[in-house]
C-alpha cells in the first residue's frame, strides 16, 4: 500500500516551524540504532499551548489532505496521548469532530479498569504518533485496536526519517515506515520527510542552518532508503 501524497508547501512550513520551536535540532546525536545523526527531532518540545496547538493544526491539515477515511483517533502512550488529543481539538475547529482514545502502559485494575482510556475504540481507527523508529508502538497499537474489535486504518506522523530500520544491530532494507505500509498494509502520512528537511537546509538563508545540509545529505546517503 502506498503512502498518501505529500504536500511540499505544508512540509516546508512545518520544518521551519519545528526548527524555530527547537524541536528540530542539529549537531551530533546518537539514535536508538546506535547511529550518529546530524539532526534530532524531539516532539517532547511541543510543550506549551502555542507550539502544541500549532503542531496539532499541521497534523489536522495533513490528515485532511491525505484523504484517509477514519472514525476516531488513537494516541499510543506516551507522546501519542498528547498529540491525539490536540489533533482532535484541531480537527473539531476545522469542522471535523472525532472522538479519540489512548492506552495506558499498564492496565488499571480499579475504577473503570482496563488499558484503554477515552472514547470506545470502534470503527476505523487512525493512529497518531510523532515518528516511527522501529514500528513497535504501531504494532502494539494495532494489537490493542484489533482486540477492541475495531479496524486500524492508517498512521499519521510528524516526520518520516526515511532511513533503514535496524533490528538487533542489523540494518533492514526497509525503513520503519516502509515496513508499516508494505508488511502491515497500513497507509502512513507524514507531515514532512528527511528529504523535506534536506531541501529546507539546502535553501536556508541562514548560514548556520545551511552548514548542516552536507552532513544531513551524507547521513541520508549512508542510511537512507
What cell was used for 195?
Answer: 528529504
Closest CA to 126 of 69, 197, 199: 69
Beta-sheet strands, E only, within 89-169: 100-108, 114-118, 124-128, 151-160, 164-167
Give 77: exposed, middle or buried? Use CB within 10 Å, 0-12, 13-18, 19+. middle
- Concerning whether 199 is annotated as a catalytic residue, the answer is no
**Are the C-beta atoms of residues 7 and 64 closer than 8 Å to each other?**
no
Neighbours of 196 (CB within 10 A): 22
Catalytic residue among 110, 167, 199, 208: 110
- Concerning whether 108 is annotated as a catalytic residue, the answer is yes
End-to-end Cα distance, the chain: 17
Closest CA to 18 of 45, 36, 37: 45
Rounded to whole angstroms, how far apart are CA atoms 118 and 121?
8
Closest CA to 184 of 138, 132, 147: 138
What cell was used for 104?
Answer: 495506558
Catalytic residue among 108, 147, 185, 199: 108
Look up residue 146 and give its DSSP letter: H
Catalytic residues: 108, 110
Amino acid at each position: 500500500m502506498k503512502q498518501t501524497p505529500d504536500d511540499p508547501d505544508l512540509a516546508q512550513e512545518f520544518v521551519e516551524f519545528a526548527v524555530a520551536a527547537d524541536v528540530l535540532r542539529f549537531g551530533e546525536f546518537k539514535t536508538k540504532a546506535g547511529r550518529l545523526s546530524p539532526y534530532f527531532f524531539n516532539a517532547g518540545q511541543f510543550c506549551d499551548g502555542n507550539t502544541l496547538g500549532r503542531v496539532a493544526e499541521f497534523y489536522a491539515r495533513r490528515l485532511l489532505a491525505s484523504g484517509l477515511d477514519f472514525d476516531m483517533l488513537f494516541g499510543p502512550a506516551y507522546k501519542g496521548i498528547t498529540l491525539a488529543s490536540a489533533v482532535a481539538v484541531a480537527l473539531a475547529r476545522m469542522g471535523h469532530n472525532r472522538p479519540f482514545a489512548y492506552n495506558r502502559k499498564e492496565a488499571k485494575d480499579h475504577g473503570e479498569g482496563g488499558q484503554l482510556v477515552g472514547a470506545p475504540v470502534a470503527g476505523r481507527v487512525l493512529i497518531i504518533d510523532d515518528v516511527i523508529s522501529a514500528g513497535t508502538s504501531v504494532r502494539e497499537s494495532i494489537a490493542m485496536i484489533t482486540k477492541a474489535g475495531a479496524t486500524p486504518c492508517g498512521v499519521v506522523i510528524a516526520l518520516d526519517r526515511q532511513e533503514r530500520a535496524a533490528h538487533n544491530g542489523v540494518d533492514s532494507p526497509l525503513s520503519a515506515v516502509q515496513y508499516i505500509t508494505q508488511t502491515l498494509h497500513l497507509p502512513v502520512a507524514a507531515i514532512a520527510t528527511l528529504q523535506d528537511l534536506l531541501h529546507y537546509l539546502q535553501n536556508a538563508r541562514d548560514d548556520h542552518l545551511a552548514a548542516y545540509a552536507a552532513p544531513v545529505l551524507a547521513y541520508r546517503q549512508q542510511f537512507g532508503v
